[in-house]
Amino acid sequence: MQTATTHLDREHCVRAVQSKDARFDGWFFTAVLTTRIYCRPSCPVVPPKPENMTFYPSAAACQQAGFRACKRCRPDTSPGSPEWNQRADLVARAMRLVADGVVDREGVPGLAARLGYSTRQVERQLLAELGAGPLALARAQRAQTARLLIETSTLPMAEIAFAAGFSSIRTFNDTVREVFALTPSELRARAPKSGAGTPGGLRLRLPFRAPLNPSNLFGHLAATAVPGVEEWRDSAYRRTLRLPYGQGIVSLAPRPDHIACRLTLSDLRDLTVAISRCRRMLDLDADPVAVDDHLRADPFLAPLVDKAPGRRVPRTVDEAEFAVRAVLGQQVSTAAARTHAARLVVAHGKPLDDPEGGLTHLFPAPEALAAVDPESLAMPRTRRTTFTTLVRELADGTLPLGVESDWPEARARLLALPGFGPWTADVIAMRALGDPDAFLATDLGIRRAAQELGLPSTPAALTARAEAWRPWRAYAVQYLWATDSHPVNFLPV
């Protein structure tokens, strides 16, 4: 075991590799000392002898130690580690930012500035826990992005190099050869010809850990879809994306062993960010077995978990957008909230062209909404104040909501805003910030479900009862909501 990976339990890692347990894909990587290849735990080849195995917590650490990716199991395509979506410490927040492409766009100083730490502190903590610093982690991500573009597009290699974030063709060629033991041309020659897309349009498979129950996940996204920004069409959820370099449209459809993803981007440099945000929205890096096993220990929740395991928390691709929509949804029905949001989209959203369907706009940016005349808003005066205060603070950066957010701090800032109560702050924490332990004790649907199950139904008593569900209370919310017949709980037809 390497010094940076002593937190990995060697015995459990060996057993996971020998049993080819796919649940641990992304948690750690197996490097084989004799072949100098690294694999995911579920690699289908005959497992190496235990004495020839060593384990790393990241693909970047494997690459930095001189190992190349297995051509059979393709460890670069495994789901991400659940660790980064269930923690809010420095390392987890840094990993979410790396996945969002911040190192490529802003460098390590930009990453550190967003986190509020020095570059030295960030590098030291990432190296200690992951065996690789931010530059190595970003390099591994660039290599994965390059492979996707090589195999799923017909773009010239020079365009792929810069779209993936490489600074030169030479660096691109050297990295691909080093990581995959193949040249870019050889990678393309090995790719299935039927999977290739066209420039700007890519077809991808987003992996996840089984089981995944798509009903509440896609049901929620479809039932709350804002016309013009989102839609359910041809058994897929489609929506527009505002991205660092441009805009995009994504189509996501559930399949038994993956999510089918079609991406159309105005700038291919946004590919990594778009994939990362779609994975977060669908909660694809979750460990459903660990979550369900924990919740199943409660006799009141066990029948709900056994009936439909693998529920995910439906999240968002844009934290600021969701915060605005949460305010629009205060004390009104789902249909009314969609109507309010659709009016804002038509009046202030950025138009775009969608030749395939009914998507017409990007959701308005906070800067555009901050200029809205409050008197033009069809809502009570107190909610206008809530709305205008929120968008102003989002626009000027006073209220940062993003993947780097510290969950308790962000929740406290939200509660300090006028018109923000526990429900609004907690639903933003759960669905926008990604806090897996956010709990909506005041939600009417949750209280109704609790009463039907024989659980306490007052917010204080229910919160006390839900202590046993920590740290997965956001997932308990999904199982409680599922007791209702609301459309959010059913996969659209």
Catalytic positions: 39, 443
Distance in angstroms (rounded) separating the CA atoms of residues 290 and 268: 36
Is the previous residue joined to 471 through a cis bond, with omega within 30 degrees of 0?
Answer: yes
* Phi, psi dihedral angles at 311 (to 5 degrees): -70, 140
CA distances from 23 to 43, 74, 75, 321, 475 (A): 12, 16, 13, 33, 18
Q: What are the tokens at 3? A: 């010094």
Residue closest to 480 by CA, chosen among 319, 257, 308, 324? 308
* DSSP-assigned beta bridge partners for residue 56: 29
Residue closest to 291 by CA, chosen among 415, 46, 461, 469? 469
Q: Is 53 exposed, middle or buried (0-12, 13-18, 19+ CB in 10 A)?
A: buried
Beta strand 236-242 pairing with 230-233:
antiparallel
Residue closest to 112 by CA, chosen among 98, 122, 103? 122
| Cα–Cα–Cα angle for 287, 290, 295, rounded to 5 degrees | 120
* Single-letter amino acid code for the residue at 257: D
Query: For residue 85, how many C-alpha atoms fall within 13 Å in the half-sphere facing its CB?
Result: 31
Distance in angstroms (rounded) separating the CA atoms of residues 250 and 235: 13
DSSP 213: B
**Residue 277: strand, helix, or coil:** helix
How many helices (H) and strands (E) the chain has is answered by: 23, 11
* Single-letter amino acid code for the residue at 323: A
Is the previous residue joined to 211 through a cis bond, with omega within 30 degrees of 0?
Answer: yes
